[in-house]
Amino acid sequence: MFSIIQAAGWPIWPLIACSILALALVIERFVSLKTAKVAPPQLLEEVLTVTRHTVPGPDVVNQLEKNSALGEVLASGLRALNVNPRCSDDELRASMEGSGRLVAHRLERYLSALATIASAAPLMGLFGTVVGMIEIFGSQTTATGGNPAQLAHGISVALYNTAFGLIVAIPSLIFWRYFRARVDAYLLTLELAAEHLARHLAVLRRQG
């Protein structure tokens, strides 16, 4: 492996840095976007059960907020009722929408960086290719008749950097699209759950 890096020349080092960063981002997103941390399947039903007759107190709401991203959104609606029991349905929904935007921003964290790596890696590989071509043309002089060693090194720089740029870019693009789709699905789940809770609380308040 080290011999390949040597043959690829100095332009490969930025690509290696990008590959390490991309790997770190992928691992971090896999950990952060677990279903249990974002939208536990039974959480909405549990909240609806707890709020069947009355709005829970601040202690229960604080515990719900720490449960997951979905819990944070639902807790914001319950907290709005704890603070102002007479708040309107629009104010209740606005509270959950504001919390949802914060959660969405957190779920989308680092995705733009991963997309940037996927876009930039082929260009960095192309830059290495240009450097290799410059070395190839530099080895062809009329005075010396060409330097075979420098010619071979230039070809190595060009090919290795092109290949490594694609090796970094393709997985980065695949994982970016995967995480983008996963975040979009989570956001839809959060939106539907918040709307469900808002309707449930509206009925509860009319009955009260």
Q: Which amino acid is at 23?
A: L
Q: 52 Cβ partners below 8 Å, 6+ apart?
A: 204
pLDDT band at 88 (very low <50, low <70, confident <90, very high): confident
Q: Which residue has the higher pLDDT, 193 or 55?
A: 193
Q: What pLDDT is attached to residue 129?
A: 85
Q: 106 Cβ partners below 8 Å, 6+ apart?
A: 69
Distance CA 18, CA 12 (A): 10
Q: What pLDDT is attached to residue 146?
A: 60
The per-residue b/e assignment along 167-205, b for 16 or more CB within 10 angstroms, e otherwise, is ebbebbbebbeebeebbeebbebbeebbeebbebbeebe
pLDDT band at 204 (very low <50, low <70, confident <90, very high): confident
Q: What pLDDT is attached to residue 1?
A: 62
Q: What pLDDT is attached to residue 99?
A: 94
Q: Which residue has the higher pLDDT, 95 or 53?
A: 95
Q: Taking the model in full, what pTM does it have?
A: 0.85
Q: Which amino acid is at 176?
A: W
Q: Which residue has the higher pLDDT, 79 or 3?
A: 79
pLDDT band at 182 (very low <50, low <70, confident <90, very high): very high
Would the pLDDT of 110 be above 80?
yes
